[in-house]
Amino acid sequence: MTRQEATRPEPQFLSVGTGPEQRDIAVLTQPGRGPAVVWLGGFRSDMRATKAEAIADWASRSGRAFVRFDYAGHGESSGDFARWTLSHWLEDALAAIAAHANGPAVLVGSSMGGWLALLATRRLREQMPEKAPAGLVLIAPAVDFTEELMWAQMPDAIRRAILEDGVWNRPSEYAPEPTPITRALIEDGRRLLMFGAPIETGCPVHILQGMKDPDVPHAQALRLVEHLPHDPVVLTLVKDGDHRLSTPDDIARLVAAVEGIVPSA
């Protein structure tokens, strides 16, 4: 066993859903002062990815509470990836926040996690106002990505395969195995679309976006700013930034954004 493996924290598991929808969500928590910072990862990413680890290191150094988790079918959580949709992953996020965030948290969402952070904010403001977020940091937020960045960009042959077969296996630049894109994912995403109406968060928002992002064009970030008419919003455009935004300079910008938006303990 290597030293890194020996110090690797072991997750807790949180049961979410009932019956055939039941799954065990892996959660890592770090105690600390002040509002918890909660990490919401991207599509097929996991809670031990580079940016999440960087925030975990910052939280340890600064003594701040930090919560991260894997959605169903991701990382160390149970379930087959293709079985789940955005609604399930939103439910996972809300369950982790309810169980482990003591009061208003700062949600840090990457790519799909940015969309889920906004959806979670809306749900929390409606159903658990005492846990409505204190701030949002969104990294290349992929709002409405299933419709605008997937379905709208797909050739007719791929759309037909999804409708007729229920799934299309998309080659991935980030993993050796293809990513299953299911009909259920696309149809569920349509029920959660946010663009087209004002988005109200009730808290400050900082968006970090690369201008050379091939997956989430920076025009999406500009569009999101336009949909946040009543909230204080900072948009940081990184001229040479890609989708990962994981270079040392990118990580420094991310940590500074989190530090700048976390309320004083």
In a domain, 114, yes or no: yes
In a domain, 180, yes or no: no
> Tell me, what's the pLDDT at 53?
98
For residue 130, pLDDT beyond 60: yes
For residue 61, pLDDT beyond 70: yes
Q: Which pLDDT band holds residue 1 (cuts at 50, 70, 90)?
A: very low
Mean pLDDT of the chain: 95
For residue 246, pLDDT beyond 70: yes
In a domain, 53, yes or no: yes
CATH number at residue 58: 3.40.50.1820
Structural domains counted in the chain:
1
For residue 17, pLDDT beyond 50: yes
For residue 264, pLDDT beyond 90: no
Condensed to tens digits (0 to 9), the pLDDT of residues 152-191 reads 999 999 999 999 999 999 998 777 889 999 999 999 999 9
Q: Are strands 64-69 and 23-30 parallel, antiparallel or unpaired?
A: antiparallel
CA distance 104 to 4: 32
Compute the average pLDDT of residues 44-71: 97
For residue 40, pLDDT beyond 50: yes
For residue 44, pLDDT beyond 80: yes
CA distance 158 to 140: 25
For residue 196, pLDDT beyond 60: yes
In a domain, 185, yes or no: no
In a domain, 168, yes or no: no
In a domain, 158, yes or no: no
> Tell me, what's the pLDDT at 265?
66
> Tell me, what's the pLDDT at 28?
98
In a domain, 165, yes or no: no
For residue 4, pLDDT beyond 70: no
In a domain, 150, yes or no: no
CA distance 21 to 84: 9
Q: State both tokens at 265.
A: 């303990």
Range of the domain at 255: 3-142+196-261
